[in-house]
Amino acid sequence: MPAPEHATDDVTERASEHANQHANQHANQHDPVHAAAASVLGDAAAAQVTTLAGRSRGTLATVLTHASVRRFTPDVIPDDVVQALRAALVRGPTSSALHSYSHVLVRDTERKRRLAHFAGDQPWIDQAPLLIVGCADLRRAREATHARGYRYTAHDVRMLISATADLTVGLQNASLVAQSLGYGTVLLGGVLNGSLEIAQALRLPERVVPLVGLSVGRPQSDRWPAPRPRLPLPLLLHDETWSLDEATEATLLADYDARTRARGDFEGRRIPWSAMGRGREDPIPEGAYGWLEHTARKQGRATWGPQGAKVDADLGAQGVMVRSAGDSDGPPTDG
């Protein structure tokens, strides 16, 4: 007896569903968007995300497959791409519509070389054809305040924080646009360490303070770098309220650390033992240097304190001093 039609359909459907799933799984293994999503969400959730990729007009793909690039070809960036980056730098949201940022685009080879030196001699800054120096602009709003005859009272830390957020939004948007067009980028917090020297080299007015940079160029390699690992999601994301207990945190960090040690993720950028100011022999052997040791050394190295003092002094020399709430300057208030 022939099977009822709907049953045949059902079996055929299930068979074809199975075949599709198999094909999708196979395709997913080679789909960089799925792979990037799976690396943080796991396979099942990544499959959901991957189905949205087409609808997102490329944004998901660009965001999820991000990887910093530190080897660039000297190819000049064409003007249309630069114009797209310029638009992206200013189209993002800006706190209170203040626009408390100014970006400087540097392409001149010699100027870039000097700035690379001030930002910690990072060779990729020199190599990339474009450097964008993101500056907190704490001048413009203060001038406007004075010009309208008011005292400027925004000397506490809020303006510095919102200006930093503003400029980072712009740099990240430019970075995503660049990556979507096949250019590589790397953000540069090292700019902060040479803030005063960079401000002088760029002839910035007082209170326009270089904080973060972005290098942009064609990646040297034909292959886009694989997205780098992230800490497990329970360490980074919470639903509704904080959902992490200390024991879970310690276990997840230890697991993650073990994986970074096994892969050698941080060996190439080991902070030398000499930087720790603790004797001669590095007690951590090859293969045992992972995320935990690297993170601890970053914060604990002997240069951290003096470098921080320089940043404080640099900001002060550029007219930015975080003062107590209630401080003000400019024209006296009435009465």
Ligand X SMILES: Cc1cc2nc3c(=O)[nH]c(=O)nc-3n(C[C@H](O)[C@H](O)[C@H](O)COP(=O)(O)O)c2cc1C
Segment holding 234, helix H or strand E = helix 233-236
Q: Which is nearer to ligand X, 141 or 177 (CB)?
A: 177
In the complex, what is the shortest distance from the CB of residue 193 to ligand X, in angstroms, rounded to a whole number? 9
Helix axes 32-41, 43-52, angle to 10 degrees: 140
In the complex, what is the shortest distance from the CB of residue 44 to ligand X, in angstroms, rounded to a whole number? 23
In sequence order, the β-bridge partners of residue 217 are: 184
Q: Which is nearer to ligand X, 35 or 141 (CB)?
A: 35
Q: Which of 167, 189, 190, 171 is nearest to 130 (CA)?
A: 171
In the complex, what is the shortest distance from the CB of residue 188 to ligand X, in angstroms, rounded to a whole number? 4
In sequence order, the β-bridge partners of residue 104 are: 133
Per-residue tokens: 257: 């650390």
In the complex, the residues that contact ligand X under the rule CB under 6 A are 67-68, 70, 122, 186-190, 212, 228
In the complex, what is the shortest distance from the CB of residue 20 to ligand X, in angstroms, rounded to a whole number? 32
In the complex, what is the shortest distance from the CB of residue 186 to ligand X, in angstroms, rounded to a whole number? 5
Of all residues in this chain, which one has the CB nearest to ligand X in the complex?
A: 189
Are β-strands 130-137 and 184-188 bridged in parallel, bridged antiparallel, or unpaired? unpaired
In the complex, what is the shortest distance from the CB of residue 251 to ligand X, in angstroms, rounded to a whole number? 23
Q: Which is nearer to ligand X, 232 or 319 (CB)?
A: 232
In the complex, what is the shortest distance from the CB of residue 331 to ligand X, in angstroms, rounded to a whole number? 37
Q: Which of 94, 86, 81 is nearest to 169 (CA)?
A: 94
Are β-strands 101-106 and 184-188 bridged in parallel, bridged antiparallel, or unpaired? unpaired
In the complex, what is the shortest distance from the CB of residue 200 to ligand X, in angstroms, rounded to a whole number? 20
The side-by-side arrangement of strands in the sheet containing 184-188 is 101-106, 130-137, 208-217, 184-188
User: What are the angstrom distances between the C-alpha of 47 and each of 18, 37, 63, 80, 112?
Assistant: 15, 8, 16, 35, 43
Q: Which is nearer to ligand X, 85 or 212 (CB)?
A: 212
Q: Which is nearer to ligand X, 268 or 326 (CB)?
A: 268
Q: Which of 143, 36, 130 is nearest to 89 (CA)?
A: 130
Long-range Cβ contacts of 259-267 (<8 Å, 24+ apart): 259/229, 259/290, 260/229, 260/290, 260/291, 261/287, 261/288, 261/289, 261/290, 263/229, 265/228, 265/229, 265/290, 265/291, 266/290, 266/291, 266/293, 266/294
In the complex, what is the shortest distance from the CB of residue 227 to ligand X, in angstroms, rounded to a whole number? 6
Q: Which is nearer to ligand X, 122 or 173 (CB)?
A: 122
Segment holding 61, helix H or strand E = helix 59-64
Q: Which is nearer to ligand X, 68 or 295 (CB)?
A: 68
Per-residue tokens: 39: 């690396």
Q: Which is nearer to ligand X, 64 or 154 (CB)?
A: 64
Q: Which is nearer to ligand X, 23 or 226 (CB)?
A: 226
CA atoms within 13 A of residue 113's CA, in its CB half-sphere: 3
